[in-house]
Every structure is written in structure tokens, then in C-alpha cells.
């Protein structure tokens, strides 16, 4: 039997409510409900508390395959956190590169050595100048990616954790691909001889 079934049976054998059991092992009733529904598996500490309370071994309470699942999830958690932090940093950097005037341009006008155009510009401004919506789409997607990756830091206890993380990875991939296209094309626009935002002599 699974951990959820074992726990439910042991609790009923002792004629305990979920609230009674929760108070005995110092956790919330909601957590006991999640344990018994199979929504979550206990930490090693809570498993030990439950086993001690019911006077059984942890192996009797939780099958080995479920223990392995808990161990794998625990070992992967730091990796997921690192990847999520990386995605958030890259997304924020992309937003900044789109809005900050960090790209410089400069060229002579029609070969006239006396008239030189130069300055700095942001990718968004450059795209606005040529009336191309690509940078705006990329900016919005980068902002969504920032919010979503920040949300993923708190999604580790969600029932749909795996789906959320896969969705986040897909969103991040699309966002970065679009940003790279925006960056490459934007640099080409800014570097063209016809591009100018301000005049300086």
C-alpha cells in the first residue's frame, strides 16, 4: 500500500481525526489532508514523527519507491532553484537591454565629412523609429517571463509543480529566442547608415 493509504488506515485504527493527528505531530490539519490524498509526500522529519507516533518503522509506513521519489525531489530542488534564478536574471537583463540606451551609432551623412550623426539609443527606441513592433513584443514577453520565473520560486509545493516548471522552461526558451532575434536585427538597424535619432556636428 502507498503511504497515503497506510497513514489513513493507521489514523482510523486509533480513532483519530486529521486534526487530532496534526496536533500530535505538530503539523497543520491541511498537511495531513494532503498526505492522505497523496497530493504530497512527507519530509524525512515528518515521516519519522508519524512512524514513531504509530510505533511502526518508516519502511512500513512508506514504501521504498516513494522514499526514492522524495529523495530525488529533494536532491533536484537546489538545481531547480538555480535554474529558475538563472532564468530570472537573464529575463531581467533582457528587459534592461531593451529599454536602456546602451547601443551607440555614428556615421557621416551621404559621404559629407562635415556632417556626422552620432548618439546612443535603446532597442525599443530604434524599433519605434522604424515603426517595427518586434521589440515591443519581445519586451512584453520578457516582462511576463520575469513574473513567471519569480512565481516559480513559490511553486515547489503546488500539485502542478512539474507542469508549471515545464511551461516556464518553454516560455523562457521562446522569450530568449525572440530576444536574440530582436537584438541581432536591432543592432543591424542601429548600425545602418540611414539610422539617426539626434544630429550633432
Is residue 71 domain-resident? no
Same domain, 58 and 145: no
Question: Would the pLDDT of 114 be above 90?
Answer: no
The answer on 122 and 51 residing in a single domain is no
pLDDT confidence tier of residue 187, bands split at 50, 70 and 90: very high
Alpha helix (H) residue ranges in 26-160: 29-37, 44-54, 58-61, 64-99, 123-129, 134-152
Confidence class for position 77, pLDDT limits 50, 70, 90: confident
Sign of CA dihedral 88, 96, 179, 128: positive
Q: Which three cell numbers stand for residue 70?
A: 522524495
CA distance to 20, 101, 151, 167, per residue, from 36 (Å): 14, 56, 27, 28
Answer yes or no: do 90 and 164 share one domain. yes
> Looking at the domain assignment, is residue 11 inside a domain?
yes
Across all residues in the chain, what is the average pLDDT?
85
Q: Which stretch, 29-38, 105-114, 122-131, 136-145, has highest mean pLDDT?
A: 136-145
The domain tally of the chain equals: 2
Same domain, 54 and 91: no
Q: Domain range for residue 49? A: 3-62
Global pTM reads 0.62
Determine contact, residues 62/6, Cβ cutoff 8 Å: yes
User: Domain holding 12: CATH number?
Assistant: 1.10.260.40
Look at residues 11, 28, 62 and tell me which one is the last residue of a structural domain: 62
- Considering the domain architecture, whether residues 55 and 80 belong to the same structural domain is answered as no
| Per-residue model confidence as pLDDT tens digits over 27-37 | 999 999 988 88
Which residues, in sequence order, are CB contacts of 146 under 8 Å at separation 6+? 88, 91, 92, 95
- Say what the pLDDT of residue 136 is: 95
Amino acid at each position: 500500500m502507498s503511504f497515503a493509504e497506510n497513514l489513513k488506515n493507521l489514523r482510523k485504527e486509533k480513532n483519530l481525526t486529521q486534526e487530532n493527528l496534526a496536533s500530535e505531530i505538530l503539523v497543520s490539519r491541511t498537511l495531513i489532508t494532503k498526505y492522505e490524498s497523496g497530493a504530497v509526500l512527507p519530509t524525512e522529519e515528518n515521516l519519522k514523527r508519524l512512524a514513531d507516533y504509530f510505533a511502526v518503522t518508516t519502511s512500513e509506513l512508506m514504501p521504498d519507491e516513494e522514499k526514492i521519489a522524495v529523495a530525488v525531489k529533494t536532491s533536484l530542488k537546489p538545481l531547480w532553484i538555480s535554474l529558475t534564478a538563472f532564468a530570472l536574471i537573464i529575463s531581467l537583463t533582457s528587459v534592461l537591454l531593451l529599454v536602456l540606451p546602451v547601443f551607440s551609432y555614428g556615421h557621416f551623412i551621404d559621404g559629407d565629412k562635415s556632417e556626422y550623426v552620432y548618439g546612443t539609443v535603446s532597442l525599443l527606441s530604434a524599433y519605434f523609429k522604424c515603426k517595427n513592433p518586434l521589440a515591443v513584443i519581445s519586451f512584453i514577453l520578457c516582462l511576463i517571463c520575469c513574473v513567471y520565473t519569480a512565481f516559480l520560486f513559490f511553486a515547489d509545493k503546488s500539485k502542478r509543480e512539474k507542469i508549471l516548471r515545464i511551461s516556464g522552461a518553454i516560455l523562457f526558451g521562446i522569450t530568449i529566442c525572440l530576444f536574440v532575434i530582436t537584438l541581432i536585427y536591432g543592432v543591424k538597424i542601429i548600425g545602418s547608415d540611414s539610422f539617426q535619432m539626434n544630429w550633432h556636428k
